[in-house]
Structure 1
């Protein structure tokens, strides 16, 4: 039933659900833009709703607290990054040069620094709030899975996971970020060869 007690048909219900999901997505995207511009401290229901071009009540309706909004933003971007990394890993198994593709991806992400800056702001938030670490753990697991396509050495995998975050963060701190060729040279030092042998 709607607000006036009139029954809603299935199509109307689905339409409203889709509209609600779209508004939530817009609010999450707006949160990332606010974080990139003003830091986590700049996030409020009002600032996010204004950035999304939605009424103030919309942000508080879909996200009852700022913590819930930040959690949704962090989860969204980390899951997107993890899925992208997983796709690269799977392509590598099909014979593609995953290190080159990863180098091009890293260069693009650093060049378009706004979203990356927001992610690291939220990433640091997860260091203080353990409830946020599920999303960051999925990202790190995806990077580890990519490395595991090249080496069975667990220490090398661990170093690779840490290096990716470090290289991205370092890219934010320079006016001359690494190019795809730069990233590729560094990646091939970290994972010099595909040392995994096929079972006989």
Structure 2
């Protein structure tokens, strides 16, 4: 077995867990199934993660990080504030469309955690993590676009999370790219309406 750092092993196990969850469902993603998928002994799992709950958090974080592109590279053409906002949203949406199976896993993880005794905290932390990432992304957009938000960022983050969460679930059901794109443009228009020049 090749010697890898703990961080590389964690990443290997997270990737294996995602593959198992996509193929077999979250409920069947046992530690044994995950290490078998990764091709490592069971002891490696316990070396990298204190619990399955910790692994679930790492899976959620890994999927979300891949879905959020850097704001600074999201808009190569239109550098106006509205163009940066729209470009960032569509760059994010491109990642959703590129990895629909991973998006389905996130919804399944939420439901699984809420139904399993002792795992509700996973779902709470999952959505708190999303809110933090959305807040950070809104702050980054403001910095790149040279604007400030006229609505408090925590409120905008919760609003945006609710909208994008629903839009993603809708798209996973009907795969209507035209309507999804139109909804993104409407959201971009809303965000543009709650900006002011930066100070």
Higher radius of gyration, 1 or 2: 1
Q: Pick from 25, 29, 45: which aligns with 2:11?
A: 25
State the alpha-carbon separation in 2 of the partners of residues 186 and 110 from structure 1.
18
> In the TM superposition, what are the counterparts of 1:111-126 in structure 2 within 5 Å?
111-125=98-112
Is contact 1:107-1:178 (8 Å) kept? no
State the alpha-carbon separation in 2 of the partners of residues 41 and 189 from structure 1.
40
Match of 1:67 in 2: 53
State the alpha-carbon separation in 2 of the partners of residues 53 and 74 from structure 1.
22
Task: State the Cα distance separating 1:145 from its structure 2 match.
Answer: 4.7
Gaps of 5+ in 2: 143-147
Task: State the Cα distance separating 1:159 from its structure 2 match.
Answer: 2.5
> What do residues 105-142 of structure 1 show as CA deviations (whole Å, max 9, x unaligned)?
21331342122122222234455522553353132133
Match of 1:107 in 2: 94
> In the TM superposition, what are the counterparts of 1:1-200 in structure 2 within 5 Å?
18-78=4-64, 80=65, 84=68, 87-88=70-71, 97-125=84-112, 127=114, 129-130=120-121, 133-147=124-138, 149=142, 151-154=149-152, 157=156, 158-178=158-178, 181-193=181-193, 195-199=195-199
Gaps of 5+ in 1: 1-14
Secondary structure of the structure 2 residue equivalent to 1:36: helix
Q: How many residues align?
A: 181
Q: Which stretch shows the higher mean deviation, 37-46 or 154-163?
A: 154-163
